Amino acid sequence: MSTPQMALSAARTNLALATLFSGMFVLGSAELLVVGVLDLIAANLHVSIPAAGTLVTVYALGLAIGGPILTALTIRLNKRTVLVGTLVLFIMGNLVAVLTTSYGVFLAARVFTGALQGLFIAAAFAAGIAVVPPERIGRAIALIVSGVAVSAALGVPLGTLVGQALGWRGSFTAIVVLAVITLIATLALVPSTPSIGESAGNQAKYAFAPRVIAVLVLNFLVFAALYAAFTYIVPFLQSVTGVSGALLSVFLLAYGVATAAGSFGGGKFADQNAARTLVVASVGVAVCLLALYFVGTVPFLVALVMLAWGLFAFGMVPSLQYRVISLAGPGGALAQSLPASAANVGIAVGSFAGGVAVGSFTAAAAVITGLVIAVLTIPVAWATSFLKPPVVDETTQPAQAGTGG
């Protein structure tokens, strides 16, 4: 939308998109991997479990704050160059994590790699949008962003298994190896994507326009609702549903597969009508959380609800990204990093709110907290559906995809 479209063969386009998907998968796995090996890191670095958990928090903050800053600083660079440079630095940052014995150095490396992920996300969307026709932009976004969903569903569990067998450093070494493979694929398969030439200052007035901020608020609420409940879904399954042991993994895997399917499939709906998709999915998420609370004692129904919840929640993600880029108009290149920032702030706030609720009441209180926030997203989604992209000169007007904007 903010980068020129290029004519590529279908095979070359698919290879480029698959490479961007793989980058999102690797970086997404690195973000959440700490959760699965938290106890191992704490013991090895001689810190408490809460201190080790801070490694997740600082990564999210690095992504939320550093991502947009790095995107602004590299706005004039070729996006393929940005992707390559980001992967090189990401590999170096994770090598530092593998080799260090200092908690403080590890913490700094996590902030650094978090900011790099934010930059990679923006550059990946710009490169992906450039290789598809306007009517397929939503599906390109969906394929790229589904790399993160698949990393949560498969990458983190597999990384945890590696960590249990080879230690947490083994897991991060695997991330480095996968990042090197992705770097080679990027050099070979992702085409050059020139900058549009606009400075960060010129783009900022569009990227931070009220209409864009409104959708970012919606993005924040969506992820706050999701993680207020999901962060504490295991205690809910244990205490309310009566699920324990290996069966917990089955429920979580089913949810993970649903999020990946929703993220990938949501692209078609983004291309058709992104604004309407956000309204429908917001209602769907609220209904799912309400149902989860009322059928929480019936394992089979809980599994079905979690499948629907994952589909609705992550089916929104391509449309959220699409709407932000579309509404930013000529500021789309800068705006591409903002949804990830809003999502990470939402994750932090939602997890905190759910924790307060669980600490004050029971595990079911986290689901109610998520439901309350989800209900708030409905009128916000409805209100943002009336927002239109800016009217600009044809030389700077971004490509629009049908009714998706």
- pLDDT for 92 equals 97
Q: Which of 1.25.40.10, 1.20.1250.20, 1.10.10.60, 1.10.357.10 would CATH assign to domain 204-405? A: 1.20.1250.20
Q: Which of 3.40.50.10860, 3.40.50.1860, 3.40.50.1370, 1.20.1250.20 would CATH assign to domain 1-197? A: 1.20.1250.20
Please state at what angle helix 338-360 crosses helix 210-230, rounded to 10 degrees: 40
pTM of the model: 0.80
* pLDDT band with cut points at 50, 70 and 90 for residue 2: very low
**Domain 1-197 identical in fold to domain 204-405:** yes
Residue 294 has which token pair? 């009322």
- pLDDT for 196 equals 62
Q: What is the pLDDT of residues 279-318, one digit of tens each?
A: 999 999 999 999 999 999 999 999 999 999 999 999 999 9
Radius of gyration of the chain (CA): 20
Q: Which of 186-200, 227-241, 259-273 has the weakest average pLDDT? A: 186-200
* pLDDT band with cut points at 50, 70 and 90 for residue 219: very high
- pLDDT for 403 equals 41
Q: What is the pLDDT of residues 206-216, one digit of tens each?
A: 888 999 999 99
DSSP characters over 151-170: IIIIIHHHHHHHHHHH-HHH
Cα gap 16→102, rounded to integer Å:
38
112 CB contacts (<8 Å, ≥6 apart)?
Answer: 62, 66, 89, 93
Q: What is the pLDDT of residues 108-165, one digit of tens each?
A: 999 999 999 999 998 998 899 888 888 888 888 889 988 888 887 777 677 777 887 8
* pLDDT band with cut points at 50, 70 and 90 for residue 401: very low
- pLDDT for 70 equals 93
- pLDDT for 277 equals 95
- pLDDT for 50 equals 72
Q: How far is C-alpha 26 from the chain's CA centre? A: 12
Cα gap 147→182, rounded to integer Å:
13
Q: What φ, ψ does residue 3 adopt, rounded to 5°? A: -130, 150
Residue 36: pLDDT over 80: no
Cα gap 17→87, rounded to integer Å:
16
The domain spans of the chain are: 1-197, 204-405
Helices (H), 67-167: 67-73, 79-99, 103-130, 137-150, 156-166
- pLDDT for 198 equals 63
- pLDDT for 386 equals 95
